[in-house]
Amino acid sequence: MSTTKKTDPKKQEKKAEGSQALQAVKGMPDILPKEEGWWKSFRAAGATVAELHDFHRIETPILEPAELFERGVGAATDIVEKQMYAFRTKGGERVALRPEGTAAVMRAYFEHHLGYFASPLKAFYEGPMFRYERPQAGRDRQFHQWGFEIVGDGDSVYDVEVMLATLAIFRELKFPAFTVKINSMGCKVCRASYREKLKNYYRAREKKLCKDCARRLDKNPFRLLDCEEEDCKALRGEAPIILDYLCQTCNAHFKSVLELVEENGIPYEPDPFLVRGLDYYNRTVFEVWGVGAPHALAGGGRYDYLGELIAGRAVPAVGAAIGMERSIAFLKSATPPVALSKERPRVFFTAVGDQAKRASLKRMEELRRAGVPVVEALGKRSLKGQLKVAGKLKVPLALIFGQKEMFEGSIIMRDMVTGAQETVLLDRLVEAVKQDLKKKS
């Protein structure tokens, strides 16, 4: 006789609904352990470059007063107007998840009088940024940036130093090829007359503009230059370019930047329509593009007015931010695949039997304290199964710790390439492992 109970499918469905596994917020992807190598390589390259170029780490909070970005980045920019995660806390403060890193670095610069300690201040940061954009390939709502900022000097050498540091990361990562697009946004004086020219140009063609551009024509006409809509793109071809309106000082600055870019062998192309989506830029703006990549990998420029906007004090500054997800995606797609930095060889440690398992913690700790990375396999799998795992991980050396070895005060070292095994005394374990790894490296 069958004992299976019939269950009500509706009830079952309801139960499933209630216990459905939750998923990450849209556009905020997890970065999984299998990605670790890429992220590690990026961070290692960043740290090396920061040290070589004398940039120092700064970490600012993820949450800032919303006003910092409204005043700094600009209330009429897409980033602030449409993409900012801003909200009121229970205490009534208006805060925002940072959409970018520069305004916060500048806030910290004034708050902690950093200009007093270093002139210019050379800082770098790394961390997540948040923008409520439509998620698609290369565009997330949470993404990571690595940024360099030089605050306190307006000389063109610093514009190019920021470019060189940014490119040094790409070079360190063995990027196949890249190019830097460069333009100048002028200053308050020359930009104002260009702005008018641009407005007049587009106003005469208003009917052909997309809805977004028609709306932002008055508030932010520069944005019309990088609209992706076909009709707007077509209009851009005939639009006036800022280089024809630069004042003498801005012209001289731009010329000097281009000369230094050439002298330093930076692959570049002038792009008169490069405007960037943040209000605070003046003079030099640039973007780094991987050859064949669909989006810019990094962007930056000079922001001499940001200090005035957020603290009432003008301090010349220049910086750049690299999109880490985009750069890693580009690296992955590069042909031939670029070699990541080599990891230290690891040792595979497997214990057979409960007592050996308990005793292995101490032995692994000895190795780790001596600087040897250890992968442990203390599960219930058979020795054969464990060694199969070791083979997959491509570790050069496995250590086998069984009951017999434990009582004898020894351990088996197995060469994972040749399969040769030798027994060593536990007292000599660290020394023997180090010697063996040295031979293999």
Which residues of the shown chain bind ligand AMP in the complex (CB under 6 A)? 100, 131, 133, 138-140, 143, 145, 277, 296-299, 321, 323, 325-326
Q: What share of the chain is helix, strand, coil (3-state, %, to 5)?
A: 45, 20, 35
Place of tokens 């050379």: 122
Residue closer to ligand AMP by CB (options 329, 367) is 329
Least distance in Å: CB of 134 to ligand AMP? 9
Measured CA distances, 206 to 81, 193, 214, 216 (Å): 22, 20, 6, 11
Question: Which of residues 139 and 346 has its CB atom nearest to ligand AMP in the complex?
Answer: 139
**For residues 198 and 278, which CB has a smaller minimum distance to ligand AMP in the complex?**
278
Nearest alpha-carbon partner for 365 in 381, 379, 352, 376: 376
Residue recorded with tokens 């040792």:
347
Tell how far CA 337 is from the center of its chain.
Answer: 20
Calculate the CA 206 to chain-centre distance. 38
The continuous run of DSSP H or E covering 65 comes out as strand 63-65
CB atoms within 10 A of CB 196: 13
Kindly tell me which of 133 and 229 has the beta carbon lying closer to ligand AMP: 133
Least distance in angstroms from the C-beta of 78 to ligand AMP: 10
Task: Tell the smallest beta-carbon distance from residue 276 to ligand AMP (Å).
Answer: 6
* DSSP string computed for 208-258: GS-HHHHHHTTT-GGGGGG--SHHHHHHHTTS--GGGT--HHHHHHHHHHH
Which one, 225 or 296, has the nearer CB to ligand AMP? 296
180 or 297, CB closer to ligand AMP? 297
- Closest distance of CB 378 from ligand AMP, Å: 39
Pairwise CA distance, residues 29 & 222, whole Å: 32
Report whether 416 contacts 395 (CB < 8 A): yes
CB-nearer residue toward ligand AMP: 125 or 143: 143
**What's the CA angle centered on 137, arms 135 and 142, to 5 degrees?**
50
Least distance in angstroms from the C-beta of 321 to ligand AMP: 4
Minimum CB separation of residue 360 from ligand AMP in Å reads: 43
183 versus 350: smaller Cβ distance to ligand AMP: 183
In the complex with ligand AMP, the residue whose CB is nearer, 298 or 351, is: 298
| Residue 67 to residue 356: CA distance in whole angstroms | 60
Residue with Cβ nearer ligand AMP (115 or 138): 138
Cβ 319 to ligand AMP shortest distance, Å: 10
Nearer to ligand AMP, 139 or 174 (CB): 139
Nearer to ligand AMP, 225 or 347 (CB): 225
Minimum distance between the CB of residue 143 and ligand AMP, rounded to whole angstroms? Answer: 3
Count CA within 13 A, CB hemisphere, residue 58. 23
* Structure token pair of residue 441: 């490296």
Shortest CA distance to 183 belongs to which of 289, 261, 297, 269?
269
Give me the least distance between CB of 89 and ligand AMP, in Å please. Answer: 25
CB of 66 to ligand AMP, least distance (A): 17
Radius of gyration of the chain (CA): 29
Minimum CB distance to ligand AMP, residue 138 (Å): 6
Q: Please, what is the minimum distance in Å from the beta carbon of residue 117 to ligand AMP?
A: 26
Give the residues across from 129 on adjacent strands.
143
Q: Select the residue whose beta carbon is closest to ligand AMP and give its number.
A: 323
DSSP track, 385-430: HHHHHHHHHT-SEEEEE-HHHHHHTEEEEEETTT--EEEEEGGGHH
Q: Are 231 and 208 in contact (CB under 8 A)?
A: yes
**Which CA distances in Å does 173 have to 121, 168, 342?**
26, 8, 12
